[in-house]
């Protein structure tokens, strides 16, 4: 499978409650493909986000649907990253109870 196709598909994954992609929000901070493995780094704005598993799972589903093994790491965002996240979140909020902040 073409690595660029997989990376493009992952880049278009949207946040469940925000009209923005995980990449644009800074949550999906790094994605690389090495051999048959997709490695992703998730930068979270806050600890204990209830929808964290959904966000990680959405990337995993895409990676595995293309036949790749999926590995990930997670970390908390820096203050600058968090500020960017909050600005994008505020501008693109869909509504509902899946809030990361507010």
In a domain? residue 101: no
Task: Residue 42: name the closest of 53, 50, 33 by CA.
Answer: 53
Q: 0.95 exceeded by the pTM? A: no
Average pLDDT value for residue range 7-34 = 95
Q: In this predicted model, what pLDDT tens digit does every residue of 63-76 receive, in sequence order?
A: 999 999 999 999 99
Domain that holds residue 61: 3-92
In a domain? residue 102: no
Domain with residue 27: its CATH number is: 3.30.300.130
DSSP H helix total and E strand total for the chain: 4, 3
In a domain? residue 98: no
How many structural domains comprise the chain?
1
Average pLDDT value for residue range 18-37 = 96
In a domain? residue 87: yes
Q: In this predicted model, what pLDDT tens digit does every residue of 44-64 receive, in sequence order?
A: 999 999 999 999 999 999 999
* Confidence band for 96, pLDDT divided at 50, 70 and 90: low
């Amino acid at each position: 499978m073409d690595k660029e196709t997989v990376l493009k598909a992952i880049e278009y994954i949207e946040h469940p409650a925000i009209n923005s992609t995980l990449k644009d929000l800074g949550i999906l901070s790094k994605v690389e493909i090495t051999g048959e493995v997709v490695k992703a780094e998730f930068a979270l704005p806050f600890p204990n986000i209830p929808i964290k598993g959904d966000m990680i799972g959405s990337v995993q589903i895409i990676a595995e649907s293309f036949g790749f093994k999926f590995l990930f790491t997670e970390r908390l965002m820096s203050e600058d990253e968090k500020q960017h996240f909050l600005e994008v979140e505020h501008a693109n909020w869909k509504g509902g109870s899946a809030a990361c902040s507010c």
